[in-house]
Amino acid sequence: MAPDSQDQSGGAGDASRVEHDRNLVALVSATGLANLADGIIRIELPLIAAKMTSDPIALGALIACFSAPWLLTSFHIGVLVDRLDQRLLLAGAHVARFASATVLLVVFAAGAGNLLILYPVALALGIAEVVAMTCETAIVPMAVSPARLSGANSWITALETLGSESIGPALGGLLFAIGAGPMLLVPTLGFLVAGGATTLLRGTYRAQETAAPGSMGSEGAAGLRFLLGRKDLTYMTLIVGAIGAGWSAWRTLFVLFAVSPGPMHLSSGGYGLLAGMLGVGGLVGAILTGPVTKLLGRRLAMFTAVIGMTAMLGSPTATSDTMIVGATIFLAGFGSSLWSVNSRSIVQETVPANMIGRFYSIYRMISWSFLPVGGMASGIAARSVGLHYAFVIVAFLSALQILPFALKFRPSSPVRA
């Protein structure tokens, strides 16, 4: 090869690396900001509701509004993600989150806030989350080189958990104590800046069509057939559903258990800090996903999510000690990150690029349809048999996952040192 050809080839390679680096920074920044804002507002809305009512069913319904869009809208959103420009859809999702938070900010600043306004806002935020998470999963393989795929997933998972489960809840609890203005202004601005960061992505983010588009129903059905045709992906979907129901139940019950006059007698700020242990564990888990997966293999690494969830749900049945409860929350966050990074990599490694949007949305539609069930069922249980026994029930149901996981789940692409 001639010297000038070598220079051109090297220059093209350098330019590609620079673009991938820039895309990774833009995507990670948008993810971090959006999840920080999401973590703040998701901790604030239940706290606001808890000041207005102590009815566990009302709180369960609010938590269900965040997750119900995965059941109601994800099928069609997945088809749109595979058809349209995913970068613009992602930016639009962040702008929609900004608009929803702005409505809440204006209403409460005007002194007109009430319980009923929280439900449609939570629903709108949930729909935007469906679009954002589906787009992010589809964009990553196109935004970064294959060699950096696992690292990008670890970064994204770390910032998701840090924002949604650690800094976000802790900051949300503190802002709640200050007042409605700062409490709602910070997440509103976070969503706006996340939308701007998304526009910095460079490249093409539209899946390549292999055939003429069909109807939404037929295209969505193709994604469902692909999922059901893979046993590893089917079992992964069902396990995520069970874990998700546990998360939703915990979010519904734990605010009543932790915040005074509950058994732990914490302030709203203390509750935010304790719930933030999820993010601390998640951050550590995301950082250590590579070494832990190489040491244990993908299957055992992902099994820590089931163990962590069961421990977190079970600890309130035995103690109200902050250190013990906090340790189990940390373990649940740690296991959640190991699951998230590995499951995301499995999807990106095994699902065709032009089907990731449909597959991921259907995967989430089935698995996360358990979220509103977990929230509402735990609220009904708490009202019927009391908070303590509601925790006993959900912890027992979580423990029932262990045997099916051990017997059936065999993830693809095992990773060994």
Task: Please name the amino acid found at residue 383.
Answer: R
Is the model's pTM score more than 0.75? Answer: no
* pLDDT per residue as tens digits for the range 228-254: 888 888 888 888 888 888 888 998 899
Please state the rounded mean pLDDT for residues 110-116. Answer: 80
In this prediction, residue 212 carries a pLDDT of 54
Cα–Cα separations (whole angstroms), residue 182 to 31, 171, 174, 179, 280: 22, 11, 10, 6, 24
- Cα torsion 402, 403, 408, 412: sign: positive
The pLDDT, as a whole number, for residue 386 is: 92
120-169 pLDDT tens trace: 999 999 999 999 988 888 888 887 777 777 778 888 888 877 777 678 87
pLDDT at 1: 45
Q: Is the pLDDT of residue 336 over 90?
A: no
Q: Which whole-number Å values give the CA distances from 118 to 59, 252, 332, in the listed order?
A: 10, 15, 28
Strand-pair partners of 12: none
- Range 213-218 average pLDDT: 70
pLDDT (tens digit per residue) in 379-391 = 899 999 999 999 9
pLDDT for res 208? 58
Phi, psi of 414 (to 5 degrees): -60, 145
Please state which of the ranges 95-99, 196-200, 203-207, 323-327 shows the lowest mean pLDDT.
203-207
Residue extents of the structural domains in the chain: 17-204, 215-416
- Could you give the residue ranges of the DSSP H alpha helices within 53-148? 56-72, 74-83, 86-109, 115-143
Q: What is the pLDDT of residues 183-201, one digit of tens each?
A: 889 899 999 999 999 988 8
**What's the angle, vertex CA 48, arms to CA 70 and CA 382, rounded to 5?**
70
Instruction: Copy the structure tokens of residue 385.
Output: 């048999």
For residues 239 and 97, the model is more confident at 97
Say how far apart CA 235 and CA 238 lie, in whole Å.
Answer: 5
Most confident residue range from 90-99, 151-160, 235-244, 400-409: 90-99
Output the average pLDDT for the chain.
Answer: 83
> Is 6 a residue whose pLDDT tops 60?
no
CATH superfamily of 17-204: MFS general substrate transporter like domains (1.20.1250.20)
pLDDT at site 155:
81
Q: At which residue do the structure tokens 């979580």 appear?
A: 398
Q: pLDDT confidence of 403, banded at 50, 70, 90?
A: confident
* CATH 3.20.20.70 for domain 215-416: no
For CA atoms 8, 9, 14, 16, the dihedral sign is positive
Query: Which percentage of the chain shows pLDDT scores above 90?
Result: 24
- Same CATH topology for 17-204 and 215-416? yes
Closest to 399 measured CA to CA, from 343, 340, 341, 315: 315
The pLDDT of residue 312 is 94
Burial tier of 322 (Cβ tally within 10 Å: 0-12, 13-18, 19+): middle
Task: Give me the pLDDT at residue 23, please.
Answer: 82
